[in-house]
């Protein structure tokens, strides 16, 4: 539980969340699938001129289908939690965060493609707001780092999920304690990358990689500004990690820049079109439509957003959708589930003074009527293949 005095001291006037400022049922996609399989089987990544963006054999304009699900049991209302797909155990996990006004969630929840179930895990991370979690396909580890247990102190603990239980790792080197960072695995450089975040005194712009047993700080020549709540995900077309948005350390304003981590350095990209600046957007890779998908976040006035965008390797495009979930920030509560060929979105932050969401949505990009098991299995194979390239 958050002591009220601490909560009031550390909460910005517009938000019911701990302060982020220092000192204050789905159909599987078929369109383009056969072409994608052909490309994967021959190892092709582009045309004869070597253009990597030719991998995106998609029908434009793309469209998407959001579906609100109604499972009988759901986790508590949740914002500030983390969700990720564990490729080793083929599980989609949700942990951390909690209702807007607490307490934070120490339980672990599994999504089995239709229902949520709460696990009994005697050893587990404490209830944390704003941790990060990502799957490392090289070490076969689902890794959780950082967060705040009370809105006042911050953690630099590393936890590993093995498919059945949590264990705390004890690396000799660790990044500084922080919350609201971003983390994603880069198969191109075989790196699990941690970037940015903040604690009660410091905003970070450092870049770290997890080796499977220890943390190692990297020293790129160029780096994005110190920030929090950036969207971060792997894009195999760009052979690296795409970072978008976040909130600036100096004044808290939302960012609208697109950056690429190429394995050794950061490079700012110059897309022709971009979403409006925002912090805490959801971002993930769709292995079938072969685009990064971005949803929601908080704009410069901290108003929640509900637009959906795709990154096609050179620019952002507003996705045409049948409907949209209510506006929210849900940056780390969005993950692709290859078992159903869709993104799963859970919970999210509504707006100042309002409770968090406690609902489950799926997003299918470029939907088609087809949805047989063969197509689903091919989509899952593509997801695994894209994570190993």
pLDDT one-digit tens code per residue, 176-191: 999 999 999 999 999 9
For residue 13, what pLDDT is reported? 31
CA distance 246 to 251: 12
Region 4-14 average pLDDT: 29
pLDDT of 316 higher than 80: yes
Q: What is the dihedral of CA 219, 297, 69, 312, to 10 degrees?
A: -60
Q: What is the CA radius of gyration of the chain?
A: 19
Confidence of residue 19 (pLDDT cuts 50, 70, 90): low
Residue 23 has pLDDT above 60, yes or no: no
Give just the sign of the alpha carbon dihedral 289, 96, 276, 327.
Answer: positive
Per-residue pLDDT for 377 more than 60?
no
Hey, what domains does the chain have and what are their CATH numbers? 4-388 (2.120.10.80)
State whether residue 387 is helix, strand or coil: helix
pLDDT tier at 42, thresholds 50, 70, 90: very low
- Poorest-pLDDT segment among 56-60, 74-78, 96-100: 56-60
Residue 194 has pLDDT above 90, yes or no: yes
**What is d(CA 19, CA 129) in angstroms, rounded to the nearest whole number?**
11
Position 3 pLDDT exceeds 70: no
Work out the pLDDT band at 101, boundaries 50, 70, 90.
confident
How would residue 370 be classed by pLDDT, with cut points 50, 70 and 90?
very low
Phi–psi pair at 383, nearest 5 degrees:
-60, -45
What was the pLDDT predicted at 353? Answer: 81
Given a cut of 80, is residue 7 above it in pLDDT? no
Confidence tier at 61 by pLDDT (50, 70, 90): low
Rounded-to-integer distance, Cα 286 and Cα 294, Å: 11
Q: Is the peptide bond before 103 cis (omega within 30 degrees of 0)?
A: yes
Strand ranges for 207-319 from DSSP E: 207-210, 215-218, 227-228, 231-235, 240-244, 247-248, 258-261, 266-268, 282-286, 291-298, 304-311, 316-318
User: What is residue 168's predicted lDDT score, i.e. its pLDDT?
Assistant: 98
Residue-level pLDDT at 213: 97
pTM of the model: 0.83
Q: DSSP code of 9?
A: H
Average pLDDT of the residues of the chain: 84
Percent of the chain whose pLDDT exceeds 90? 74
């Amino acid at each position: 539980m958050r002591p009220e005095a601490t909560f009031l001291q550390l909460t910005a006037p517009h938000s019911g969340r701990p302060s982020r400022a220092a000192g204050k049922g789905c159909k599987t996609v078929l369109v383009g699938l056969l072409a994608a399989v052909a490309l994967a089987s021959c190892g092709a990544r582009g045309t004869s001129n070597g253009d990597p963006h030719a991998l995106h054999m998609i029908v434009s304009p793309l469209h998407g289908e959001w579906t609100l699900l109604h499972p009988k049991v759901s986790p508590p209302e949740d914002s500030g939690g983390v969700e990720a797909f564990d490729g080793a155990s083929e599980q989609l996990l949700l942990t951390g965060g909690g209702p807007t006004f607490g307490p934070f969630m120490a339980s672990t929840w599994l999504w089995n493609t239709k229902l949520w179930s709460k696990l009994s895990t005697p050893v587990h991370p404490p209830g944390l707001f704003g941790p990060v979690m990502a799957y490392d396909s090289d070490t076969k580890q689902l890794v959780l780092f950082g967060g705040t247990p009370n809105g006042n102190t911050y953690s630099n603990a590393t936890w590993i999920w093995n498919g059945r239980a949590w264990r705390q790792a004890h690396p000799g080197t660790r990044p500084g304690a922080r919350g609201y960072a971003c983390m994603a695995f880069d198969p191109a450089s075989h790196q699990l990358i941690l970037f940015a975040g903040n604690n009660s005194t410091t905003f970070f712009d450092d870049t770290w990689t997890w080796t499977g047993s220890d943390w190692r700080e990297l020293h790129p020549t160029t780096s994005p500004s110190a920030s929090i709540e950036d969207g971060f995900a792997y894009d195999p077309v760009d052979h690296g990690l795409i970072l978008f948005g976040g909130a600036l350390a100096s004044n808290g304003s939302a960012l609208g820049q697109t950056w690429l981590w190429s394995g050794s350095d950061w490079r700012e990209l110059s897309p022709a079109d971009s979403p409006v600046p925002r912090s805490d957007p959801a971002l993930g890779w769709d292995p079938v439509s072969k685009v990064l998908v971005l949803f929601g976040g908080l704009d410069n006035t901290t108003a929640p957003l509900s637009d959906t965008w795709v990154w096609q390797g050179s620019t952002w495009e507003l996705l045409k959708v049948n409907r949209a979930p209510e506006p929210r920030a849900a940056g780390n509560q969005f993950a692709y589930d290859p078992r159903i060929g869709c993104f799963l979105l859970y919970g999210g932050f509504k707006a100042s003074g309002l409770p968090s969401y406690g609902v489950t949505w799926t997003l299918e990009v470029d939907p088609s009527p087809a949805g047989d098991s063969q197509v689903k299995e091919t989509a899952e194979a593509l997801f695994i293949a894209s994570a190993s390239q």
